[in-house]
Amino acid sequence: ANIHQGMLCVFQDECLGQGSFTRVFKGTKVDIREGEEHRTQVLLKVLDANHKDYWEAFFEASSMMSQISHKHLLLVYGVSVHGAKNIMVQELVKYGALDLYLKRKGSVSVSCKLDIAKQLALALNFLDEKNIVHGNICAKNVLLAREGDPSQETSPFIKLSDPGIKVSLLDRNVILDRIPWVGPELLQDPPILSLDSDKWSFGATLWEIFNNGETPLKDWDLEMKRRFYGTYQQLEPSQWTELADMITQCMDYQPASRPSCRVVIRQLNNLITSDYEVLHASEAPER
Protein backbone atom coordinates (compact mmCIF):
# COMPACT_ATOMS: atom_id res chain seq x y z
CA ALA A 1 0.00 0.00 0.00
CA ASN A 2 1.19 3.46 -0.83
CA ILE A 3 0.93 5.50 2.30
CA HIS A 4 2.15 8.92 1.36
CA GLN A 5 4.86 10.41 -0.75
CA GLY A 6 8.22 8.92 -0.09
CA MET A 7 6.89 6.17 2.15
CA LEU A 8 5.99 2.78 0.90
CA CYS A 9 4.65 -0.10 2.88
CA VAL A 10 5.02 -3.73 2.07
CA PHE A 11 2.66 -6.24 3.57
CA GLN A 12 3.71 -9.49 5.05
CA ASP A 13 0.88 -11.95 5.26
CA GLU A 14 1.40 -12.80 8.90
CA CYS A 15 -1.78 -11.68 10.66
CA LEU A 16 -0.86 -10.88 14.25
CA GLY A 17 -4.33 -10.58 15.64
CA GLN A 18 -7.52 -8.62 15.55
CA GLY A 19 -9.38 -5.98 17.48
CA SER A 20 -12.97 -4.81 17.61
CA PHE A 21 -12.88 -3.33 14.12
CA THR A 22 -9.41 -4.05 12.88
CA ARG A 23 -6.93 -6.71 11.90
CA VAL A 24 -3.21 -6.24 12.39
CA PHE A 25 -0.32 -7.40 10.22
CA LYS A 26 3.42 -7.15 10.31
CA GLY A 27 4.88 -5.08 7.51
CA THR A 28 7.93 -3.23 6.33
CA LYS A 29 8.10 0.48 5.77
CA VAL A 30 10.50 1.61 3.09
CA ASP A 31 11.61 5.23 3.04
CA ILE A 32 13.82 6.66 0.37
CA ARG A 33 16.03 9.34 1.86
CA GLU A 34 18.84 10.91 -0.16
CA GLY A 35 18.61 8.07 -2.62
CA GLU A 36 19.02 5.47 0.08
CA GLU A 37 16.50 2.89 1.14
CA HIS A 38 15.62 2.66 4.82
CA ARG A 39 13.56 -0.29 6.03
CA THR A 40 11.63 -0.38 9.28
CA GLN A 41 9.44 -3.13 10.62
CA VAL A 42 5.97 -1.75 11.25
CA LEU A 43 2.55 -2.82 12.31
CA LEU A 44 -0.26 -2.31 9.82
CA LYS A 45 -3.68 -1.94 11.31
CA VAL A 46 -6.40 -2.48 8.73
CA LEU A 47 -9.98 -1.37 9.30
CA ASP A 48 -12.38 -4.26 8.62
CA ALA A 49 -14.27 -3.93 5.33
CA ASN A 50 -17.60 -4.40 7.14
CA HIS A 51 -16.84 -1.43 9.39
CA LYS A 52 -15.87 0.90 6.57
CA ASP A 53 -18.34 3.58 7.60
CA TYR A 54 -16.06 4.18 10.56
CA TRP A 55 -13.19 5.31 8.34
CA GLU A 56 -13.43 8.94 9.40
CA ALA A 57 -13.18 8.01 13.07
CA PHE A 58 -10.33 5.63 12.25
CA PHE A 59 -8.55 8.45 10.46
CA GLU A 60 -9.18 10.75 13.41
CA ALA A 61 -7.57 8.27 15.83
CA SER A 62 -4.52 7.95 13.57
CA SER A 63 -4.08 11.65 13.10
CA MET A 64 -4.50 12.32 16.82
CA MET A 65 -1.75 9.80 17.57
CA SER A 66 0.56 11.02 14.81
CA GLN A 67 0.31 14.62 15.97
CA ILE A 68 1.43 14.06 19.52
CA SER A 69 4.68 12.68 20.74
CA HIS A 70 5.55 11.18 24.11
CA LYS A 71 7.87 8.34 25.02
CA HIS A 72 4.99 6.32 26.42
CA LEU A 73 2.65 6.87 23.48
CA LEU A 74 2.73 4.60 20.46
CA LEU A 75 4.30 6.14 17.38
CA VAL A 76 1.89 6.34 14.44
CA TYR A 77 3.60 7.02 11.12
CA GLY A 78 0.55 7.72 9.03
CA VAL A 79 -2.63 6.44 7.52
CA SER A 80 -3.93 5.62 4.09
CA VAL A 81 -7.58 6.34 3.50
CA HIS A 82 -7.47 5.94 -0.24
CA GLY A 83 -8.60 2.96 -2.23
CA ALA A 84 -10.47 0.10 -0.73
CA LYS A 85 -8.41 -0.24 2.42
CA ASN A 86 -7.92 2.00 5.42
CA ILE A 87 -4.55 1.27 6.96
CA MET A 88 -2.85 2.76 9.98
CA VAL A 89 0.93 2.39 9.95
CA GLN A 90 2.43 2.21 13.42
CA GLU A 91 5.49 1.28 15.33
CA LEU A 92 5.72 -2.48 15.91
CA VAL A 93 5.99 -3.03 19.64
CA LYS A 94 8.05 -6.09 20.46
CA TYR A 95 6.19 -7.80 23.30
CA GLY A 96 2.68 -6.85 22.18
CA ALA A 97 -0.34 -6.32 24.41
CA LEU A 98 0.25 -6.11 28.16
CA ASP A 99 -2.71 -8.30 29.22
CA LEU A 100 -1.48 -11.20 27.11
CA TYR A 101 2.07 -10.68 28.31
CA LEU A 102 1.06 -10.73 31.98
CA LYS A 103 -1.06 -13.85 31.43
CA ARG A 104 1.77 -15.57 29.61
CA LYS A 105 4.39 -14.71 32.21
CA GLY A 106 2.22 -15.61 35.17
CA SER A 107 4.23 -13.71 37.69
CA VAL A 108 5.76 -10.32 37.08
CA SER A 109 7.35 -8.59 40.07
CA VAL A 110 5.50 -5.92 42.03
CA SER A 111 8.15 -3.34 41.22
CA CYS A 112 7.73 -4.04 37.49
CA LYS A 113 3.98 -3.62 37.79
CA LEU A 114 4.37 -0.36 39.70
CA ASP A 115 6.77 0.85 37.03
CA ILE A 116 4.28 0.03 34.28
CA ALA A 117 1.48 1.74 36.21
CA LYS A 118 3.58 4.86 36.63
CA GLN A 119 4.53 4.99 32.95
CA LEU A 120 0.87 4.71 32.02
CA ALA A 121 0.04 7.50 34.47
CA LEU A 122 2.73 9.66 32.84
CA ALA A 123 1.18 9.07 29.41
CA LEU A 124 -2.21 9.95 30.85
CA ASN A 125 -0.84 13.09 32.46
CA PHE A 126 0.61 14.16 29.12
CA LEU A 127 -2.77 13.68 27.37
CA ASP A 128 -4.48 15.44 30.26
CA GLU A 129 -2.24 18.50 29.89
CA LYS A 130 -2.95 18.55 26.17
CA ASN A 131 -6.66 18.21 26.90
CA ILE A 132 -6.88 15.03 24.82
CA VAL A 133 -9.28 12.26 25.80
CA HIS A 134 -8.01 8.81 24.86
CA GLY A 135 -11.22 6.91 25.49
CA ASN A 136 -9.98 3.32 25.28
CA ILE A 137 -7.44 2.73 28.02
CA CYS A 138 -7.16 -0.93 28.97
CA ALA A 139 -4.35 -3.46 29.35
CA LYS A 140 -4.75 -4.72 25.79
CA ASN A 141 -4.09 -1.20 24.55
CA VAL A 142 -0.92 -0.94 26.61
CA LEU A 143 1.93 -2.38 24.58
CA LEU A 144 5.18 -3.63 26.02
CA ALA A 145 8.31 -2.43 24.25
CA ARG A 146 10.80 -3.81 26.76
CA GLU A 147 10.61 -6.45 29.46
CA GLY A 148 11.78 -5.68 32.96
CA ASP A 149 14.48 -7.90 34.33
CA PRO A 150 15.30 -7.28 38.01
CA SER A 151 18.48 -9.40 37.79
CA GLN A 152 19.77 -7.17 34.97
CA GLU A 153 18.35 -4.06 36.63
CA THR A 154 16.39 -3.16 33.50
CA SER A 155 12.91 -1.77 33.83
CA PRO A 156 9.94 -2.48 31.58
CA PHE A 157 8.86 0.10 29.00
CA ILE A 158 5.33 0.61 27.79
CA LYS A 159 3.58 2.48 24.99
CA LEU A 160 -0.08 3.36 25.07
CA SER A 161 -1.74 2.33 21.80
CA ASP A 162 -4.26 4.27 19.71
CA PRO A 163 -7.86 4.31 20.97
CA GLY A 164 -9.39 3.04 17.73
CA ILE A 165 -12.93 4.18 16.91
CA LYS A 166 -14.11 6.96 19.21
CA VAL A 167 -16.15 5.50 22.04
CA SER A 168 -18.94 8.07 21.58
CA LEU A 169 -19.64 6.66 18.09
CA LEU A 170 -19.99 3.07 19.22
CA ASP A 171 -23.27 1.17 19.56
CA ARG A 172 -24.63 0.89 23.07
CA ASN A 173 -23.94 -2.85 23.18
CA VAL A 174 -20.29 -2.34 22.34
CA ILE A 175 -20.06 0.24 25.12
CA LEU A 176 -21.83 -2.11 27.56
CA ASP A 177 -19.34 -4.79 26.64
CA ARG A 178 -16.53 -2.39 27.61
CA ILE A 179 -17.72 -2.44 31.23
CA PRO A 180 -15.71 -2.19 33.54
CA TRP A 181 -13.23 -0.08 31.50
CA VAL A 182 -15.65 2.51 30.20
CA GLY A 183 -16.65 5.27 32.62
CA PRO A 184 -20.27 4.85 33.81
CA GLU A 185 -21.03 8.36 32.55
CA LEU A 186 -20.79 7.01 29.00
CA LEU A 187 -23.93 4.97 29.57
CA GLN A 188 -25.95 7.99 30.64
CA ASP A 189 -28.34 9.72 28.31
CA PRO A 190 -26.73 11.75 26.86
CA PRO A 191 -23.34 10.08 27.31
CA ILE A 192 -20.60 12.26 28.73
CA LEU A 193 -17.00 11.71 27.70
CA SER A 194 -14.30 13.76 29.40
CA LEU A 195 -10.75 13.53 30.68
CA ASP A 196 -12.24 12.07 33.87
CA SER A 197 -13.45 9.05 31.90
CA ASP A 198 -9.83 8.09 31.20
CA LYS A 199 -9.17 8.07 34.97
CA TRP A 200 -11.87 5.46 35.44
CA SER A 201 -10.34 3.35 32.65
CA PHE A 202 -6.92 3.81 34.22
CA GLY A 203 -8.33 2.37 37.47
CA ALA A 204 -9.68 -0.69 35.66
CA THR A 205 -6.32 -1.10 33.90
CA LEU A 206 -4.48 -0.94 37.24
CA TRP A 207 -6.75 -3.75 38.40
CA GLU A 208 -5.74 -5.82 35.34
CA ILE A 209 -2.04 -5.14 35.85
CA PHE A 210 -2.11 -6.22 39.48
CA ASN A 211 -4.24 -9.27 38.69
CA ASN A 212 -1.72 -10.57 36.17
CA GLY A 213 -3.71 -9.62 33.09
CA GLU A 214 -6.87 -11.33 34.27
CA THR A 215 -9.98 -10.00 32.49
CA PRO A 216 -12.33 -8.30 34.94
CA LEU A 217 -15.99 -9.43 34.68
CA LYS A 218 -14.96 -12.05 32.17
CA ASP A 219 -17.91 -14.02 30.70
CA TRP A 220 -20.47 -11.62 32.18
CA ASP A 221 -23.28 -10.92 29.73
CA LEU A 222 -24.34 -7.39 28.82
CA GLU A 223 -27.31 -7.36 31.20
CA MET A 224 -25.11 -8.41 34.13
CA LYS A 225 -22.59 -5.76 33.20
CA ARG A 226 -25.29 -3.12 32.95
CA ARG A 227 -26.53 -4.08 36.40
CA PHE A 228 -22.99 -3.88 37.77
CA TYR A 229 -22.91 -0.16 36.99
CA GLY A 230 -26.63 0.27 37.72
CA THR A 231 -26.03 -0.81 41.31
CA TYR A 232 -22.74 1.10 41.70
CA GLN A 233 -20.58 -1.94 42.23
CA GLN A 234 -16.80 -2.09 42.41
CA LEU A 235 -14.30 -4.67 41.19
CA GLU A 236 -13.09 -7.19 43.73
CA PRO A 237 -10.58 -5.24 45.83
CA SER A 238 -6.92 -6.12 45.87
CA GLN A 239 -5.42 -7.31 49.17
CA TRP A 240 -3.02 -4.40 49.02
CA THR A 241 -4.95 -1.64 50.71
CA GLU A 242 -3.06 1.28 49.19
CA LEU A 243 -3.50 -0.08 45.70
CA ALA A 244 -7.13 -1.03 46.26
CA ASP A 245 -7.72 2.56 47.47
CA MET A 246 -6.16 4.02 44.36
CA ILE A 247 -8.30 1.83 42.10
CA THR A 248 -11.47 2.78 44.00
CA GLN A 249 -10.57 6.47 43.85
CA CYS A 250 -10.12 6.27 40.07
CA MET A 251 -13.27 4.21 39.64
CA ASP A 252 -15.44 6.75 41.42
CA TYR A 253 -18.97 6.92 39.99
CA GLN A 254 -18.72 10.72 40.30
CA PRO A 255 -16.34 11.74 37.46
CA ALA A 256 -15.31 14.98 39.18
CA SER A 257 -14.24 13.12 42.34
CA ARG A 258 -11.58 11.05 40.57
CA PRO A 259 -8.01 12.03 41.44
CA SER A 260 -5.86 14.15 39.16
CA CYS A 261 -2.96 12.55 37.30
CA ARG A 262 -0.54 14.37 39.59
CA VAL A 263 -2.09 12.79 42.67
CA VAL A 264 -2.01 9.35 41.04
CA ILE A 265 1.65 9.76 40.09
CA ARG A 266 2.53 10.94 43.59
CA GLN A 267 0.75 7.96 45.15
CA LEU A 268 2.51 5.57 42.79
CA ASN A 269 5.86 7.18 43.63
CA ASN A 270 5.11 6.63 47.31
CA LEU A 271 4.39 2.97 46.69
CA ILE A 272 7.55 2.63 44.61
CA THR A 273 9.80 4.07 47.31
CA SER A 274 8.02 2.58 50.33
CA ASP A 275 8.71 -0.80 51.86
CA TYR A 276 5.56 -1.84 50.14
CA GLU A 277 7.44 -4.06 47.72
CA VAL A 278 9.36 -5.81 50.44
CA LEU A 279 6.26 -6.22 52.55
CA HIS A 280 4.19 -7.65 49.76
CA ALA A 281 6.78 -9.38 47.64
CA SER A 282 5.73 -12.82 48.81
CA GLU A 283 2.13 -12.15 47.84
CA ALA A 284 3.04 -11.05 44.35
CA PRO A 285 2.48 -14.28 42.43
CA GLU A 286 -1.11 -14.70 43.66
CA ARG A 287 -2.45 -11.22 43.28
* Among 7, 43, 44, 182, contact with ligand ATP (rule: CB under 6 A): 43
Give the H/E segment covering residue 176.
helix 172-177
* Among 1, 8, 19, 66, contact with ligand ATP (rule: CB under 6 A): 19
Report the C-alpha gap between 147 and 159 in whole angstroms. 12
- Least distance in angstroms from the C-beta of 164 to Mg ion: 6
**Phi–psi pair at 170, nearest 5 degrees:** -80, 155
Residue 1 or 16: the one with the smaller Cβ distance to ligand ATP is 16
* Among 16, 132, 192, 272, contact with ligand ATP (rule: CB under 6 A): 16
* Binding status of residue 120 toward ligand ATP by CB under 6 A: no
Q: Is 21 left (phi over 0), alpha (psi -120 to 50) or beta?
A: alpha
* Binding status of residue 45 toward ligand ATP by CB under 6 A: yes
Contacts with ligand ATP, 22-41, as mask; x by CB under 6 A: x-x-----------------
Contacts with ligand ATP, 53-92, as mask; x by CB under 6 A: ---------------------x---------------xxx
Contacts with Mg ion, 153-192, as mask; x by CB under 5 A: --------x-------------------------------
- Least distance in angstroms from the C-beta of 76 to ligand ATP: 9
Give the H/E segment covering residue 35.
none
What lies within 8 Å, CB to CB, of 103 at 6+ separation is 212, 213, 214
Report the C-alpha gap between 245 and 238 in whole angstroms. 9
**In sequence order, what DSSP letters do the residues of 140-175 get, joined into one string?**
GGEEEEE--BGGGTBPPEEEE----S-GGGS-HHHH
Contact residues for Mg ion (CB under 5 A)? 19, 141, 161
